[in-house]
Homo-oligomer: A and B are copies of this chain.
């Protein structure tokens, strides 16, 4: 996305090369020499643009995080209902991670456990997105979509942790092209979560478990009244 048709600038070429090599060998095992060769510039040129090897590392996710998370910020407001919003945010994450595996490898395998990365603008962008997710969850609790006693932080950890875990394993297994992509897992996944935290509301009601033979009678009964709508149809 956002491909430039112009020949890439030196700076971009360096960051592209660095992303590839950092993702492949890790920050420590990557060498500036190797990156400079891959980028077709001299080592000194890298230091013209990035003061430090670590600066180069942190520069990579900065743009991409901001771009992506601003893109998501533009879309989210148009989605109605917290479940839809949450799903959208998760989808942004997953598509970013999936469409740019080197980036997700870098973030999930190298950067997440780097304390200095946490003080970085790139991480701030990630945090912002993560915070948006938390806000949606809280909103869901406030507006009655989710249970009043749901722990919003826990739920966010479930959402993020699961996706991160899936991607980490995908990377550690050599990014198999497998039958099921992680995107395909999104709906089953969040449906489980939502199911687990949804307020079974819409007026004083009970969840009823009926045998098949009761369905008929019940159907008739319901038709006389206005039946409760399952909240699910909002999502999709």
Q: Which residues of A contact B (CB under 8 A)?
A: 26, 28, 108-110, 112-113, 115, 118, 147, 149-151, 154-155, 157-158, 160-166, 168-169, 172, 185, 187-189, 191-197, 200-219, 221-222, 225-236
Contacts and interface: CB of A to CB of B under 8 A. Distances in A.
Contacts of A218: 204-206, 208, 218, 221
A225 B214 contact: yes
8 contacts: A112-B168, A157-B169, A160-B165, A164-B164, A187-B236, A207-B207, A211-B227, A217-B221
A108 to B, nearest CB: 8
A202 B211 contact: yes
B228 A191 contact: no
| Chain A interface mostly | helix
A166 B185 CA distance: 21
A188 B151 CA distance: 8
Contacts of A187: 236
Contacts of A108: 113
B201 A235 contact: no
Given A192-B235, A200-B209, 8 more contacts: A191-B196, A200-B207, A203-B209, A204-B218, A205-B210, A206-B227, A207-B207, A208-B228
A201 B207 CA distance: 10
Nearest to A108: B113
Contacts of A200: 207, 209
B210 A154 contact: no
Contact of A211 (B162, B188, B194, B204): B204
A166 B172 contact: no
A219 B200 CA distance: 16
A50 B145 CA distance: 56
Nearest to A193: B196
Nearest to A26: B113
Contacts of A163: 161
